Chains A and B, each alone.
Chain A
């Protein structure tokens, strides 16, 4: 079963608007990561947030983590057409030092120019 469930599955916005994607997970974690995938390409790491952190920023990205609700959100501010991609959350499912990640099903974001 999937550790991460993402919502919404698809999101379409206009350039300049903000995009928010949510991820929920089932078991305790050490950290949660967000990745981006352009169509048919490999995944690219965006940001990692550790279980003892509540919020993290990287450029136009803002990630929050609520371990009590087992959820995370990714906010992309002032979106651009180049942000069009699928976004995945990934957790380590509290697996210690195994290095294994469990990915959600992803949110497909379309940013219209």
Chain B
């Protein structure tokens, strides 16, 4: 079984709809991240969480919100989707510890907003 899972894997929605992307992990990691990937732009950090009570904005948080329901679950919401949020979204996890550690990525969610 995959250590980091994302649902759904693909989603097509319309402008103005509310969308939730879910991420679950079995690695026992405290830290979780949401990124979006656009062609030619690499990965950009949306939100990150160090534990259930610690959530932080990343580089591009406008238009997004998150919820850390448990250590293993971190959800990303688009309250009112717009076409320029069409992208590939990745969840990642890492350990809590000294320094910056390896991140483990989920398989991604391809979101299309029409």
How far, in Å, is B46 (CB) from chain A's closest CB?
12
Residue pair B43, A43 in contact (C-beta under 8 Å)? yes
Q: Of the 9-residue stretches B67-75, B79-87, B93-101, which lies at the interface with chain A?
A: B93-101
CA distance A33 to B41 in the complex (A): 18
Residue pair A98, B100 in contact (C-beta under 8 Å)? yes
How far, in Å, is B96 (CB) from chain A's closest CB?
8
A31-B100, A42-B106, A48-B102 given; A99·B42 CB < 8 A: no
Please classify the interface of chain B as helix (H, G, I), strand (E, B), loop, or mixed, using the class held by over half of its residues: strand
Which residues of chain B come closer than 8 Å to A33, judged between CB atoms?
A: 102
Across the interface, B31 reaches (CB within 8 A) one of A41, A99, A104, namely A99
How many inter-chain contacts with C-beta < 8 Å in the A-B complex? Answer: 65
Number of interface residues of B (CB under 8 A): 31
CA distance A106 to B42 in the complex (A): 6
CA distance A30 to B101 in the complex (A): 10
CA distance A106 to B50 in the complex (A): 26
Which residues of chain A come closer than 8 Å to B97, judged between CB atoms?
A: 97
Which residues of chain B come closer than 8 Å to A99, judged between CB atoms?
A: 31, 33, 48, 50, 94, 96, 100-101
> Is A40 on the interface with B (CB-CB < 8 A)?
yes
CA distance A43 to B97 in the complex (A): 21
Proximity bits, B22-43, A CB within 8 Å = 1, else 0? 0000000001010100001111
Which chain A residue shows the least CB distance to B43?
A103
CA distance A12 to B96 in the complex (A): 38
Among all A-B residue pairs, the 6 with the closest Cβ atoms: A42-B105, A92-B100, A103-B43, A105-B42, A103-B42, A43-B105
| Chain A residues packing against B (C-beta within 8 Å) | 2, 4, 30-31, 33, 40-45, 48, 88, 90, 92, 95, 97-106
